[in-house]
């Protein structure tokens, strides 16, 4: 399932170059990822009840076009692939002209919250990667 959120670039997200600071794109993607989890029925408390957490272990991001103050951006999230204990979500950020601003693949791992060790993906999560 592909999901998307929309945001408007705020003054606090702009750097000295007059465009969105590179670190803010990661925040936008995190917000979209959280929305994806919620919309597929896996909010934080559901993972906690399973004694499972998700940990980001790698982000490969491409900055394609600058975003500026006041622009409306759409950030999408979709499942790409899964392994035994890890999974990949793809993010795309597009502007109002449908131009690709940034894209990334985020690799996350599922861990046992008490042991803090990797565990296999729960079926509730794995089923979203067909």
Domains of the chain in sequence order: 3-126 (3.10.129.10)
- 17 by Cβ neighbours in 10 Å (0-12 / 13-18 / 19+) ranks as exposed
Residue 37: strand, helix, or coil: helix
Give the gyration radius of the chain's Cα atoms: 16
Query: In angstroms, how far is CA 21 from the centroid of its own chain?
Result: 17
Residue 8: strand, helix, or coil: strand
**Active site residues per annotation:** 15
Neighbours of 130 (CB within 10 A): 6
pTM over the 0.85 mark: yes
User: How many Å apart are CA 67 and CA 20, to the nearest integer?
Assistant: 6
Predicted pLDDT of residue 51: 97
Residues of the chain falling short of pLDDT 70: none
Predicted pLDDT of residue 130: 78
Let me know: does 50 contact 114? Beta carbons within 8 Å: no
């Amino acid at each position: 399932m592909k999901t998307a959120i929309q945001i408007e670039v705020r003054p606090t997200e702009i750097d000295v170059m007059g465009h969105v600071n590179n670190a803010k794109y990661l925040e936008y993607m995190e917000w979209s990822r959280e929305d994806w989890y919620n919309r597929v029925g896996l909010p934080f408390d559901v993972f906690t009840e399973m004694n499972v957490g998700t940990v980001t272990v790698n982000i490969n991001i491409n900055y394609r076009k600058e975003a500026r103050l006041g622009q409306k951006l759409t950030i999408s999230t979709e499942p790409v692939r899964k392994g035994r204990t890890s999974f990949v979500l793809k993010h795309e950020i597009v502007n109002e002209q449908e131009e690709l601003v940034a894209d990334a693949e985020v690799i996350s791992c599922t861990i046992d919250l008490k042991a803090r060790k990797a565990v296999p993906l729960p079926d509730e999560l794995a089923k979203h990667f067909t």
